[in-house]
Amino acid sequence: MALIYYGSLLAASLILSGIYIYMWHKHFDVNFTIVFTMVPISCLGYFLYGISGAIGEAVNAMKICYLGGSFLQIFILFSIFNLCAIEISRLLRILMFSICVIMYSSVLTIGYSDVFYSSMSYKIVEGIPVLYREYGYMHTLFFVFSVLFFLIGLIAVIYARFVKSQVPRTVVMLLILPDLICLVTFFLGRRIIQNIDLIPLGYVIAQLVYILIIYRVNLYDVANTVIDSMVKENAMGFVTFDFHYCYIGSNDSAKQIIPELAELAIDEVLGYGQSERKLRHYLDSFKRNPSNNQYVYILHNDEEDKEDDRIYNVNVAYLYEGNRKRGYIVSFTDDTEKQKYIRLLDNYNEKLKEEVEEKTRHIVDMHDNLIMSLAVMVESRDNSTGGHIKRTSQGVKILIDEILNEGQMSLSEEFCRDVIKAAPMHDLGKIAVDDAVLRKPGKFTPEEYEIMKKHAAEGARVIHDVLYNTDDESFKSIAENVAHYHHERWDGSGYPEGLVGEAIPIEARIMAVADVYDALVSKRVYKEAFDFEKADKIIMEGMGSQFDPAMKSIYEKARPRLEEYYKTL
């Protein structure tokens, strides 16, 4: 009978643990997993005790049984704290766990010391093994701490029931049952059925109650339930990065939206592919101003048929671990059907649409002219750089031509056109520099230089505001980067961010060469124009320290055209 009893409970505990594994979700409390792991181990101990044929076998089996008695209550108590949203310090957790370790260590002394069992005898009674024992002082402490842990859990549940309004009441009422069942069966022992231990039965009943608790808790965990539902329906993609733009991970939906992510290794820095550049733009904008966290991303599935395009709303937020900010999370929500519905409505008035497009083109032209006029106006305030916009724009165009001819940088023609278009805007930030500094007829003092250095970040801000509602996100990103980072240096000694190497956007690295070259060969109020030989020497010496070393061969091929252009001025 004992063998059937203990064997049935072992089988039941394994089945219930199997059900838990089937239900398991990454959001589960780790204490649940420990409980469902330890119960079958303890039941195995009782089964081995039921088939023991000697005192040594019975003692070893009992040591396995006491794993549950020593540790189950503490992990049940920890799960109560978590489910009741009660914070306890790590020190207190370690202290409570240490008490359990000490209790179980005393169990392991059975047969070698009298601290837990002062004496033992063994016999088979009607086919049932019976281990008679006298208890030592550590067993008394074992009882004391078992009751203490139960009372702490009971107080926590009562507190949560009346104070924590956001803790589900159904769960709160169930929480105390596993602890109570284990405690009651522990104290009853063999008192109800002679020589048959009730403790493993209590463990299995506790497992059943925990299955009910877990089922309810999953429903109450709204945030994770909603996210899981959206991910399951492939309606939302997630991409995460640390603060250095190192790739942490993404879900399958995100990899379908941005295929480059499938090739990006974990901890690899985000690159400069077409889609990766957009991700960088989202992160850069959010980094400068966390309120700029909403964007639109269009996935072109067919270049010929725009109806196959997928449209996503993009949101950027901080990635948290507990209360700590650890990086960024970029989420993509499919908004295609809504956008298609809008397009369908637009088709009812095609004529109006055509008129709007015509007006829009006119506005874009006006917009571009306004930006150029703004750049010229800013330059007119600076009495040391007259014609700088026109010259640097031509310098950028010459460098871009060589980049396209060489083909090693793999930049698209659209990107190159945008860089040339953005070049005149690189010094827009000077609009915020005081005339007393900007128009000073001589070299700046250190204080004045610090004021002048602010024009880079200010230029990015001005461009962001001016182009805020533009449909051309790619150009907006390039223009902001050209203004913001054209004074960064390859070795990290530039400003305003002190970026190093490839962390500097490629468009800013191109702009930097054209900008410095013009400053060298042009006359300024504080210096005469350098001859081409001296300017060339300074530029070449700066390759690898001030400038991207990859620009060296491009500059060398572009130099004859640059010199020819400047000779015509």
**pLDDT-wise least confident of 461-470, 494-503, 541-550:** 461-470
Residue type, 227: I
Residue where the block lists tokens 């379908």? 256
Residue 138 forms part of a structural domain? yes
Q: Do 195 and 242 share a structural domain?
A: no
For 101, residues 6+ apart whose C-beta sits below 8 A from its C-beta are none
Q: Return the CATH number at 433.
A: 1.10.3210.10
Q: Do 208 and 317 share a structural domain?
A: no
Separation CA 336–CA 300 (nearest Å): 12
For the chain, the maximum distance between any two Cα atoms, rounded to a whole number of angstroms, is 115
| Angle at CA of residue 481, ends 357 and 453, nearest 5° | 130
Contact (CB, 8 A) for 203 and 39: yes
Contact (CB, 8 A) for 151 and 76: no
Separation CA 265–CA 272 (nearest Å): 14
| Angle at CA of residue 371, ends 468 and 368, nearest 5° | 85
Query: Where does a domain end: 296, 322, 347?
Result: 347
DSSP at 166: T
For residues 534 and 445, which has the higher predicted lDDT (pLDDT)?
534
Contact (CB, 8 A) for 429 and 458: yes
For residue 199, pLDDT over 90 is answered with no
For 355-409, what is each residue's pLDDT tens digit? Answer: 766 766 666 666 666 666 776 776 666 655 557 888 888 999 999 999 988 887 8
Closest CA to 64 of 200, 201, 195: 200
Residue 238 forms part of a structural domain? yes
Q: Do 321 and 446 share a structural domain?
A: no
408: tokens are 């090693």
For residue 305, pLDDT over 60 is answered with no
Separation CA 76–CA 209 (nearest Å): 12
* Cα-based torsion angle of the residue sequence 435, 439, 445, 450 in order, rounded to the nearest 10 degrees: 50
Look at residue 68 in the predicted model and tell me its pLDDT.
Answer: 84
Q: What percent of the chain has pLDDT over 90?
A: 30
Average pLDDT over the chain reads 83
Residue 225 forms part of a structural domain? no
Mean local confidence (pLDDT), 312-323: 85
**pLDDT-wise least confident of 14-23, 152-161, 510-519:** 152-161
Residue 152 forms part of a structural domain? yes
Query: Where does a domain end: 189, 220, 251?
Result: 220
Confidence (pTM)? 0.45
Q: Do 505 and 525 share a structural domain?
A: yes
Residue where the block lists tokens 């572009």? 558
For 95-107, what is each residue's pLDDT tens digit? Answer: 999 999 999 999 9
Residue 227 forms part of a structural domain? no
Q: Return the CATH number at 241.
A: 3.30.450.20
Domain count, the chain: 3
Query: Where does a domain end: 295, 316, 347?
Result: 347
CA 474 to chain centre: 24
Residue 226 forms part of a structural domain? no
Q: Return the CATH number at 168.
A: 1.20.1070
Q: What percent of the chain has pLDDT over 70?
A: 83
Separation CA 425–CA 463 (nearest Å): 8
Closest CA to 332 of 306, 303, 294: 294
For 130, residues 6+ apart whose C-beta sits below 8 A from its C-beta are 122, 123, 124, 195
Contact (CB, 8 A) for 488 and 546: no
Q: Do 176 and 28 share a structural domain?
A: yes
The range of the structural domain enclosing residue 517 comes to 350-567
